[in-house]
Amino acid sequence: MVGGRVIGASGRAVRRLAQPLWRGVSALTRHTDLALGLLSLVTFVITWSTMSISHDVPISLMPVLALCVAFPVVLLRRVPFVAWAVAAGTSLVWWAVVPAYAASPMPWPVMQFLVLLASIVAVGLWSQWREIPIVIAATGVLLVVAMPDDLKAWALGQALIMGVALLVRWLVISRRQIAVQQDEVETERARRAVVEERSRIARELHDVVAHHMSMIVVQAQSAPIRHGISDLEVVGEFSAIEGSARQALTEVRSVLGVLRDERGPVETAPLPDLTRLPALAKASKAAGMPLTSRMRLDAAKVPPGTALVLYRVAQESLANAARHAPGAAVELTLEEDSGWARLMIRNSPPPAHVSRVGDPGADADQMHGRNGESGAGGRDENGGNGIPGMSERVRAVGGTFEAEPVGEGFVVIATVPLTGRPQVAGLG
């Protein structure tokens, strides 16, 4: 029992000591240049302290020759072919200029030979393919000429080392290709999931929304005939309903076309901008809303994301005014003021007879234009974004938003910058 405790304590102590070492090794592997710099320093120290064992070197030349041996180590990762050229040149200098003792097995120090082999491995791992045959051939000639007879086999050995390095390189490339293929497979799988979801949405839109809109068009066309109505004003109202339904059906069909197009991403769906705001105002007037619009802003100056926000605010405000204050006069103003776009939608109280006919018990505040704000929480229970949604949209592009009752009516004011904002093409 005591022995087990001692072994457990020893194991924990070893782990505590090994953790800093492991962190240091991990940091060095992440910083290749730092690791090679430290390795070069170690090579320099070892070469300087051991070269006198195998070669007759003047003391004044020892640091110079040690530096020539260690310098290629720094270049192994960045320029492996240059590192090999420096190592091979240094080996040639050792063989031709610096005399070796008779007991020395090689014409250069052991550290120089190890650096030469390391440069060969680096060329096999990272150098260009056309440089590899040059390295194999030149190194083989150098080893055959400079090595003694019993070590000339290294001319073949260095080629085998290069082959091992090329095998490792091929394995790394293969693993990267496999990883890329896996990413492509996952991307394609995700794309297919998006396409299937878009197809499902398209089917639901077609089966539900488009079908009902088509029925509204048919009913609006046939209502005057079925009920024998000849009043031109009433027939015009049905025609306006038919036109609005047709426009909505056209927009639904355009969305269906985008959803069914498997080649394009979801972001390619057409987004409304300020160029469609006059059409929105015209459709509102055709639907019977007493709307007055003044637009004094060049739509080309407005970034796509900002234009989308302004359009959505106008669309939501007009819809809420028509829903909560039917028959009320609405004023829409869009203008530019010192680099800012200002959108204002203001509605007056609805006529008294509309309130009585629409809902005798309706709350006056709601009927006079709360613009989608129902109840204390400000939530729109009729499907719109309401005041909180409009406020979030405007603030997302750096603007300010105001929505408050004016007399017995209501006003919505959105002010957004025209410059210095990102092109938020996917907003909304």
How far from chain centre, in Å, is Cα 85? 43
Look at residues 87, 121, 152 and tell me which one is the last residue of a structural domain: 152
The whole-number mean pLDDT for each consecutive block of 10 residues of the chain, a chain of 428 residues, reads 56 68 63 87 94 90 93 93 95 90 88 95 93 95 92 93 95 90 83 77 71 72 74 75 76 70 50 77 81 85 81 86 82 87 88 48 39 39 62 85 88 86 40
3-state SS of 106-135? CCCCHHHHHHHHHHHHHHHHHCCCCHHHHH
Provide the 10 A C-beta neighbour count for residue 406.
12
Same domain for 10 and 129: no
With respect to residue 223, please indicate whether it lies within any of the assigned structural domains. no
CA distance 111 to 154: 16
With respect to residue 245, please indicate whether it lies within any of the assigned structural domains. no
With respect to residue 210, please indicate whether it lies within any of the assigned structural domains. no
Same domain for 80 and 20: no
The pLDDT, as a whole number, for residue 372 is 40
With respect to residue 162, please indicate whether it lies within any of the assigned structural domains. no
Same domain for 41 and 141: yes
Same domain for 118 and 15: no
Same domain for 10 and 91: no
Look at residues 152, 177, 210 and tell me which one is the last residue of a structural domain: 152
Same domain for 12 and 108: no
The pLDDT, as a whole number, for residue 155 is 93
The pLDDT, as a whole number, for residue 73 is 94
* Closest to 140 in 3D by CA, of 153, 130, 131, 129: 153
CA distance 224 to 227: 5
Same domain for 383 and 318: yes
| Phi and psi at residue 46, to the nearest 5° | -65, -45
Which CATH number do you get for residue 337? 3.30.565.10
With respect to residue 218, please indicate whether it lies within any of the assigned structural domains. no
Same domain for 86 and 10: no
CA distance 401 to 415: 6
Same domain for 11 and 142: no
Q: Are 159 and 136 in contact (CB under 8 A)?
A: yes
* Closest to 121 in 3D by CA, of 140, 134, 135: 135
Look at residues 152, 185, 206 and tell me which one is the last residue of a structural domain: 152
With respect to residue 208, please indicate whether it lies within any of the assigned structural domains. no
The pLDDT, as a whole number, for residue 420 is 60
Same domain for 366 and 387: yes
The pLDDT, as a whole number, for residue 357 is 37
Half-sphere exposure at residue 168, Cβ-oriented, CA atoms within 13 angstroms: 11
Please give the tally of structural domains in the chain: 3
With respect to residue 274, please indicate whether it lies within any of the assigned structural domains. no
Same domain for 141 and 74: yes
The pLDDT, as a whole number, for residue 272 is 64
Range of the domain at 303: 290-428
Same domain for 144 and 10: no
The pLDDT, as a whole number, for residue 76 is 93
With respect to residue 224, please indicate whether it lies within any of the assigned structural domains. no
